[in-house]
């Protein structure tokens, strides 16, 4: 199953260093039956994209925590790692596309990495500070999150990840 793992730049750097991606709480997103039911129309490719966007929103939440802990040097870029794994558990207690993976995800299972480009950093930093309020319905916060989500994530093959991290 293709899953989408939310991350941050330091997590991506650890992937390059260790060859494993360590998902926070085992949380990932995928095309689940519940996600399929949530959309009236859409083929598998469109629904996979929706799962990736849920992971990108979760990446904002991870960035909010890092910034809240004073990690201001962390690049304000959403990171989503796409991987193919067999062992996932559905998470009906979270978002429609939420799943849980056990343990780390090895580099061999990673299909691609999606990250924001430098031009998105201001919007992403603003959105990270507003994502919780947006989740609670604050319209101004939703606007800030929407500004970040208007930036498309760039796609990189697994062999390019080290170069992406190095060039930052």
Identify whether 104 is part of a domain. Answer: yes
Quickly state the pLDDT bin for 7 (edges 50, 70, 90). very high
Identify whether 162 is part of a domain. Answer: no
Q: What pLDDT, on the 0 to 100 scale, is given for residue 113?
A: 97
Identify whether 151 is part of a domain. Answer: no
Distance CA 168, CA 165 (A): 5
Distance CA 90, CA 92 (A): 6
Distance CA 103, CA 128 (A): 26
Task: Note the pTM of the prediction, 2 decimals.
Answer: 0.93
Q: What pLDDT, on the 0 to 100 scale, is given for residue 72?
A: 79
Q: What percent of the chain has pLDDT over 90?
A: 75
Residue 24: is it exposed, middle or buried by C-beta count within 10 angstroms (0-12/13-18/19+)? Answer: middle
What is the total count of domains within the chain? Answer: 1
Identify whether 60 is part of a domain. Answer: yes
Q: What pLDDT, on the 0 to 100 scale, is given for residue 93?
A: 77
Residues in the chain: 168
Identify whether 143 is part of a domain. Answer: no
**Domain interval for residue 49:** 2-117
Quickly state the pLDDT bin for 45 (edges 50, 70, 90). confident
Identify whether 122 is part of a domain. Answer: no
Q: What are the angstrom distances between the C-alpha of 96 and each of 2, 38, 49, 93, 141?
A: 15, 7, 13, 9, 22
Backbone angles phi, psi at 22, to 5 degrees: -105, 100
Identify whether 99 is part of a domain. Answer: yes
Identify whether 8 is part of a domain. Answer: yes
């Amino acid at each position: 199953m293709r899953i989408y793992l939310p991350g941050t730049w330091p997590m991506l750097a650890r992937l390059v260093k260790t060859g494993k991606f360590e998902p926070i709480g085992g949380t990932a997103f995928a095309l689940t039956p519940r996600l399929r039911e949530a959309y009236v129309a859409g083929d598998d490719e469109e629904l996979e994209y929706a799962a990736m966007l849920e992971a990108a929103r979760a990446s904002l939440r991870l960035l909010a925590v890092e910034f809240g802990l004073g990690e201001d040097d962390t690049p304000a870029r959403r990171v989503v790692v796409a991987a193919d794994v067999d062992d996932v558990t559905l998470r009906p207690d979270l978002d429609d596309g939420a799943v849980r993976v056990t343990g780390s995800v090895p580099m061999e299972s990673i299909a691609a990495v999606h990250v924001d480009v430098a031009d998105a950093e201001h919007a992403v930093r603003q959105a990270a500070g507003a994502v919780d309020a947006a989740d609670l319905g604050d319209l101004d916060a939703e606007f800030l999150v929407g500004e970040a989500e208007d930036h498309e994530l760039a796609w990189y093959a697994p062999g390019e990840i080290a170069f992406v991290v190095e060039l930052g």
